[in-house]
């Protein structure tokens, strides 16, 4: 939907079968230099489908003085379709809506006026993806190969580099681990599961047997 902050109350959309087309932002809109405020959008079209330009005007538009008119010129592929002039008196329930569905031309043979309706041309979606106008199709990750010999040289080098970095990290961790030192005086009996008990020190007592 084309909306300008400088022009409130005016909305323009492209419709197919009565429904608004999906819109995408123009990635180059910021680089476009214009003499007046503009809105640039891309739309998702349907090949060979007829479309129309839908406009919506409401009371939010600055009608200013009495008798003020809003003029709209509709062009498709630089071809004039129709001019529309709206006034505040044309609003119904506070709004004015309409569709521009083609260009009126006179038949040279019969003199009857005909309505030539514009159609969408076929568009290469891959070209739109390259221009980043529509999202790219997500790529699937390649299947993991079990056979190391079937890997490319670049894949082998990547795996080797990752393994080397992993080993370096393990060595660094081992160097940083504290080591508990034990004295040479401690003796451990590896044949028993229970830890050795320490000898109990006894004090010597002297008993005099000559006394009655």
pLDDT in tens, 14-41: 999 889 988 888 888 778 788 888 888 8
pTM for this model (two decimals): 0.53
In a domain, 131, yes or no: no
Number of domains forming the structure of the chain: 1
CA 85/CA 92 separation, integer angstroms: 15
Classify residue 199: in a domain, yes or no: no
Q: 196 lies in a domain?
A: no
Residue 35 makes CB contacts below 8 A (sequence gap 6+) with none
Which pLDDT value is given to residue 186?
A: 47
In a domain, residue 42? The reply is yes
Q: Is residue 87 part of a domain?
A: yes
pLDDT for the residue 9? 92
Residues with Cβ within 8 Å of residue 23, at least 6 apart in sequence: 1, 41, 42, 43, 44
Residue 204 has what pLDDT? 54
Do the beta carbons of residue 29 and residue 74 sit within 8 Å? no
Q: Which one of 6-20, 33-47, 103-117 scores highest in mean pLDDT?
A: 6-20
In a domain, 155, yes or no: no
Q: How far is 3 from 7, CA to CA, in rounded Å?
A: 8
Both tokens assigned to 182: 């034990």
pLDDT at 185: 47
Check: CB of residue 134 under 8 Å from CB of residue 145: no
Q: Is 158 part of a structural domain of the chain?
A: no
| Host domain of residue 116 | 2-123
Angle subtended at Cα 50 by Cα 19 and Cα 2, rounded to the nearest 5 degrees: 50
What pLDDT shows up at residue 190? 46
**Tens of pLDDT, residues 126-142:** 776 776 666 666 665 55
């Amino acid at each position: 939907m084309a909306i300008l902050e400088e022009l409130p109350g005016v909305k323009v959309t492209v419709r197919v079968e009565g429904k608004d087309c999906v819109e995408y932002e123009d990635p180059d809109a910021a680089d476009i230099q214009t003499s007046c405020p503009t809105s640039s959008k891309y739309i998702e079209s349907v090949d060979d489908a007829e479309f129309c330009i839908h406009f919506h005007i409401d009371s939010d538009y600055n009608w200013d003085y009495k008798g003020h008119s809003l003029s709209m010129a509709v062009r498709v592929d630089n071809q004039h379709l129709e001019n529309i002039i709206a006034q505040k008196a044309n609003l119904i329930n506070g709004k004015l809506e309409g569709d521009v569905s083609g260009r009126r031309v006179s038949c040279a043979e019969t003199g009857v006026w005909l309505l030539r309706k514009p159609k969408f041309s076929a568009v290469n979606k891959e070209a739109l993806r390259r221009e980043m106008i529509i999202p790219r199709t997500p790529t699937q990750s390649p299947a993991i190969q079990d056979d190391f010999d079937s890997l490319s040289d670049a894949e082998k080098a990547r795996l080797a580099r990752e393994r080397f970095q992993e080993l370096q990290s393990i060595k660094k961790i081992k160097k940083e681990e504290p080591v508990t030192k034990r004295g040479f005086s401690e003796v451990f009996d590896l044949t028993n599961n229970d830890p050795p008990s320490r000898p109990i020190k006894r004090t010597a007592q002297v008993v005099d047997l000559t006394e009655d």
